[in-house]
Chains A and B, each alone.
Chain A
Amino acid sequence: MKPLLFTLLGVAFIIALFSGATAINPFAMSNIEQEILLSLRLPRVLFSAVIGGMLALSGSVYQLTLKNPLADSFTTGTASSAALGAVLGIACGLPVPLVPVLALITGLCGLMMVYRLSISDGVINPVTMILAGVVVNIVASAVISFSKFYFEESLSSIVFWLMGGFFIVDWTRLIVCALLLAISFVLLQRISLQLNLLAFDEASARTMGIDVARLRRFSFVLATLLVAVAVSHTGIIGFVGLITPHVARSLYGSDMKQNLTASTLLGALLLMLADAGARSIIPGGAELPVGIITALLGGVFFLYLLRTRRERLWHG
């Protein structure tokens, strides 16, 4: 089904590997260049691919379970409330492995708040959902900025949390995230048939044999876990989960079995390229937070969705 996608992924991988402050000629590498390539660039490129996959997979699940084409970890406020948990956890001196757990809890709280605010009589109002997401986002970002400035007097770490970036990369983080992505992917693939039925109204889905409440709960927790772990390592990188499920849907149809796979691969592709851009745009070796690039792409895409789907968004 997806030879094209895998080819593109390979090309993006090569591009990302060879872009950056130091130009490397793959055919005549010095020892230092080899060192840069293998111990700095390789883990970073792989990390960006894995994080991209995690965010995109969560976006695919959010859009379905929230019945909203504009949903992703950023627009639902989940990413920023998860980041808030991570920041507070770090500020309170929580052991590193527990930081994502706190992020998961606050992320779920943020998501549930947005969900509760936007649902009435079992129907989710997509516009209210986005508004509630914006509010959660603003409040969580303010608290993040405050606590970062108060505890560390550090503006650059505020930028890290709010804009996101791959500043700290090591093999352990990479392996943990890759494992989580793989497990979540397999779990979601196994229930992809049931997920499809969540696209129906609740009455239809339930009488077709789906325990809607249970399935939605499971999806929320798993998607938010992906976001919480990603955010704990890279800060808030928005819109990856917004763009990729749409592109996947227009390429391979709406079937979740296809959409989960294609979204994940496209997310990896997108974030590898975005990070390559973030590393090479500023001359002289300075790095742009990758979230700036995804926000730029995502913002434009969001506008496009608003334009094309305005009618359906307002009128359900």
Chain B
Amino acid sequence: MAELRIDGLDFTRGDFHLQLPPLRVATGEKLAILGENGSGKSTLLQLLTGLLDGKEQIYYDQQLLGKIPIVERARIFALLPQQAQVIFPFSVFEVVLFGRFAQTDGRSPQENDHVQTRLLIDQLDLTHLAERSFNQLSGGEQRRVMLARALNQQAQILFLDEPNASLDVRHSLDIFEFLKQTTQTVISPVHDINLAANFFERFWLLKNGQLLADVSHDELTSELLSETFDVQVSNTAGNFSFSR
């Protein structure tokens, strides 16, 4: 199983500066990253997945990220980027099946890969769309297909950049419930704070590229959120509400 360890992270691009203290994420943890737009959430994911190169020291099970071959990385972690797209009219089934690439080590998918893909498509309520062309789906449907594609990698860590972006309430709840049940580590920037508070157990609060706090579910207070987002936050019966 994969433990994520950040020994040092210091990244600069133009005016933007992202700096994190040493951190660890144990196997199976459900970690939400909260912060304003531009606080560094997506950049952090790009650094953790090796899409951006900095002088960072990121280890997966004692292995330095930079030293892990790309196909091996895809078995350790999967990423759902904010702007996922596919050109050409591939079917939903094909798109999800492509997620098996690293698990089959680049060989043609076998019978069990097809079975696994079908299963996932059923679980994410995509059965009726399986033969449709990905490009003809609505934004929310495409998002769920891309999520299925990422899950199909069966990686040990899931980096999901706002997994419920453009999803309706029912599908958002279904997906967070699904992520809560999984044994995989989930690391995910989330915008809906109440939803995050309900389904995640650990929170990184980012502000201007700095880690404001690294807290458990019980330590996530109105004061911290208020500081993170520069708004008034009150907590009534476990639900946060926000005002200017």
Chain A residues close to B by CB (< 8 Å): 64, 67, 69, 193-194, 196-197, 199-204, 206-211, 249, 253-255
B73 touches A254 (CB 8 A): no
User: Which 3 A-B pairs give the minimum distances between C-beta atoms?
Assistant: A209-B74, A209-B102, A207-B79
> Of the candidates A197, A199, A207, A254, which one forms a contact with B49 in the assembled complex, judged by CB atoms under 8 Å apart?
A207
**Chain A residue nearest in CB terms to B85:** A201
- Nearest-neighbor residue (CB-CB) of B72 within chain A: A209
Contacts of B108 in A (CB 8 A): 193
In the complex, which residues 60-119 of chain B have their Cβ closer than 8 Å to any Cβ of chain A? 70-71, 73-75, 77-79, 81, 83-91, 94, 98-99, 101-102, 106-108
Asked whether A206 and B51 contact (CB < 8 A) given A200-B98, A254-B90, the answer is yes
- Among A197, A206, A249, chain B packs the most CB atoms within 10 A around the CB of A206
> Nearest A residue to B133 by beta-carbon distance?
A254
- Tally of B interface residues using CB under 8 Å: 34
Contact of B101 among A69, A208, A253 (CB under 8 A): A208
Contacts A201-B84, A203-B81 known; A249 to B70 CB distance under 8 Å? no
Q: Is the CB of B101 within 8 A of A193?
A: yes
**A75 to B: closest C-beta gap in Å:** 16
Decide if B74 touches A208 in the complex (CB within 8 Å): yes
Q: CB distance A193 to B106 under 8 Å?
A: yes
Closest to A212 in B: B70
Q: Is the CB of A199 within 8 A of B81?
A: no
Q: Which of B46, B98, B99, B101 is close to A203, meaning CB atoms less than 8 Å apart?
A: B46
* B86–A199 touching, CB < 8 Å: yes
- Contact indicator A207/B106 (Cβ below 8 Å): no
User: Does A208 lie within 8 Å of B102, measured CB to CB?
Assistant: yes
- Interfacial chain A residues near B106, Cβ < 8 Å: 193-194, 209
Chain B contact residues, CB within 8 Å of chain A: 46, 49-51, 70-71, 73-75, 77-79, 81, 83-91, 94, 98-99, 101-102, 106-108, 146, 149, 153, 159
CA A194 to CA B106, docked complex, whole Å: 7
Report which of A64, A209, A254 forms a contact with B70, defined as CB distance below 8 A. Answer: A209
CB distance from A118 to the nearest CB of B (A): 15
Residues of A close to B79: CB separation below 8 A: 203-204, 207
Q: Quick check: B70 and A201 within 8 Å, CB to CB?
A: no
Q: Which residues of A contact B159 (CB under 8 A)?
A: 207
B161 to A, closest residue via Cβ:
A203
Instruction: Give me 12 A-to-B residue pairs in the complex whose CB atoms sit less than 8 angstroms apart, sorted by A's number.
Output: A193-B106, A193-B107, A196-B90, A199-B86, A201-B86, A204-B84, A206-B51, A207-B49, A207-B74, A208-B153, A209-B101, A254-B88
Note all chain B residues with C-beta closer than 8 A to A207.
49, 51, 73-74, 77-79, 159
Chain B residues with Cβ below 8 Å from A69 are: 87-88
Docked Cα-Cα span, A168 to B134, in Å, equals 46
Report B-chain residues with C-beta under 8 Å of the C-beta of A209: 70-71, 73-75, 101-102, 106
User: B83: shortest Cβ distance to chain A, in Å?
Assistant: 6
Given contacts A193-B106, A209-B102, 19 further A-B contacts (CB under 8 A): A194-B106, A199-B87, A199-B88, A201-B83, A201-B85, A203-B49, A203-B79, A204-B79, A206-B49, A206-B50, A207-B51, A207-B73, A208-B98, A208-B102, A208-B149, A209-B73, A209-B74, A209-B106, A249-B88
Given the known A-B contacts A203-B46, A203-B81, are A255 and B89 also in contact in the complex, defined by CB atoms under 8 Å?
Answer: no
Q: Which residues of A contact B49 (CB under 8 A)?
A: 203, 206-207
With most chain B CB atoms within 10 A of its CB, the pick from A67, A193, A197, A207 is A207
B86: chain A residues at CB < 8 Å are: 199-201
Residues of chain B within 8 A (CB-CB) of A206 are 49-51, 70
Set of chain B residues within 8 Å of A200, measured between Cβ atoms: 84-86, 98
- Residue of A at shortest CB range from B81? A203
| Contact in complex: A249, B89 (CB < 8 Å) | yes
What is the distance, in angstroms, from B28's C-beta to the closest C-beta of chain A?
A: 20
CB-nearest residue of chain B to A200: B86
Q: Is the CB of A67 within 8 A of B51?
A: no
B89 touches A254 (CB 8 A): yes
Contacts A204-B81, A207-B79 given: A197-B74 contact, CB under 8 Å? no
Nearest B residue to A257, CB-CB: B108
Q: Which residue of A lies closest to B100 (CB)?
A: A208
- In angstroms, Cα B91 to Cα A249, docked, is 12
Q: Shortest CB–CB separation between residue A213 and chain B, in angstroms?
A: 10
